[in-house]
Amino acid sequence: MLTLLIVIPILATIAVLLGAPARATSFGAALANLALTLAALLKYDRVAAGFQLESSCTILRDWDLKFFVGADGLSLLMLLLTAIVTVAAVWVTPVVEKMEKQFYACLLLISAGAVGAFASLDLFFFYAFHELALIPTFLLIGIWGSGERQAAAWKITIYLAVGSFILLLGLIGLYQSVPLAQRTFDIPKLQALARDGWINPAGANWIYLLLLIGFGILISLFPFHTWAPQAYASAPTPAAMLHAGVLKKFGLYGLLRVALPLLPQAAQHWTNLLLVLLIGNILYVGFATIAQKRLDVMLGYSSVMHMGYIFLGIAAFNSLGLSGAALLMFAHGLSIAALFAISGQLRQRTATLAFSDLGGLAKQMPVLGVMFGIAAFASIGLPGFANFASEILVFFGAFKNGTASPFSNYQITVALALWGVVISAVYMLRAYREVFWGELDERWNQLRDIGLARWPIVLLLGVLMLAGFFPQLFLNLLAPAVKGFLALK
């Protein structure tokens, strides 16, 4: 079943390039993957927990290298996020004026790469599938982007190539830290070796630091964040939705799947460094977000800022924090995808996203205005949305770690991070006011409200509210995986 999730978008890519109807084929593949993902969720035995739905094929027996896929609760949640955002991204795509087949092929390859990375239980393919997804991302920005698309494409290429190289060094170091006779790319075997003490502690701190920096650059951890806002502002709408909503979660998933369970003591060694950097994400990038004068750039900075909350949950390294971080990965992916979809609809109708050019658009586009308001409230973290439930868990999980003294590093970090909620309310409500409220310029009198493109946004917002009102549905799925991470601590 998981292999099919990877194969379907790849086969659809080939079919599109050979002449099949691009939009219909891509949308059909996306719907098929969503149906398969829901089937996998229903088939997954939450009582037995652990990795299930496994399949494998040996590639190099001497190196124990194999194509090996499987899923636990965390993997399934990320696969569900990928499937939902892919459907919405393909659905919301406007008419592609040039090289339509290549455009949809790139979207499908991003989705296939993300699915492969989240489903892989082999370190080699875990890394390789992510690299597969990065190539079409660069192409989408450089060929079909807007504004300074060439500069944005080169910048994201250089940053993410450096991040991937540093990550590769860390993974090689991790592979070699196991005795020669025990070396393997198999992630469950590596977890078992870590539990039994087979991973050499010498150099573990530096291996974890390489993994943190490598994954961190891919996630836009401060101060390696500057590639993201410009790239998302220049990217076509579906590319921004897929990268900010799904592919950026690869780095966070990697920290949870690989770095924390295999090197728990090293993770605790670098906790203070991570706490400092994540405050940079929340406060420094938060203030930079307030200063932006374009909606697309503001959303790019907002996406970077919210990574700080997820890092805080990971740094907490307890049940509440890790559960909140995983749920926030899901919630943020949906909310930022919805906001970029709305931003794309505005750009398509007005040809500008500068706040100074807009205003009063709710009079002409009430449905789009309501949708933006709901997505903005979700991003801020209002009760009723998954963002609220997950951020509460992150804050309580991190604060709970401050038992040594009344003002531990964790508690100080939480106190500072809480200001991020205020900052996000300021920039998001300001954007809502600047775009949809106030006086309507005469040139916008003929604007049409959103039509059929509303339904993919409704899908994203509907799932956000489902997870907000019933977070236990998702937390119960995550609980065994989180318990397994903590068992290796």
**Rounded distance between C-alpha atoms, residue 129 and residue 190, angstroms:** 19
* Contact between residue 321 and residue 397 where contact means Cβ atoms under 8 Å apart: yes
Q: What's the pLDDT tens digit per position in 195-204?
A: 887 777 778 8
- Distance from chain centroid for Cα 205: 26
| pLDDT of res. 59 | 80
Domain boundaries, the chain: 272-489
Coil, helix or strand at residue 354: strand
Quick one: the chain helix, strand, coil %, rounded to 5?
Answer: 75, 5, 20
Residues of the chain scoring pLDDT < 70 = 402-406, 488-489
**Rounded distance between C-alpha atoms, residue 210 and residue 216, angstroms:** 9
| pLDDT of res. 489 | 66
Kindly state the tokens that stand for 128.
């390789």
Within 8 A by CB and 6+ apart from 25, the residues are 12, 15, 16, 104
| pLDDT of res. 405 | 61
| pLDDT of res. 403 | 62
Residue 416 CB coordination number (10 Å) = 14
Q: Which helix (H) or strand (E) holds 160?
A: helix 149-176
* Average confidence score pLDDT of the chain: 90
Instruction: Kindly report the pTM of this predicted structure.
Output: 0.93
Q: What's the pLDDT tens digit per position in 59-114?
A: 887 777 888 899 999 999 999 999 999 999 999 998 888 888 999 999 999 999 99
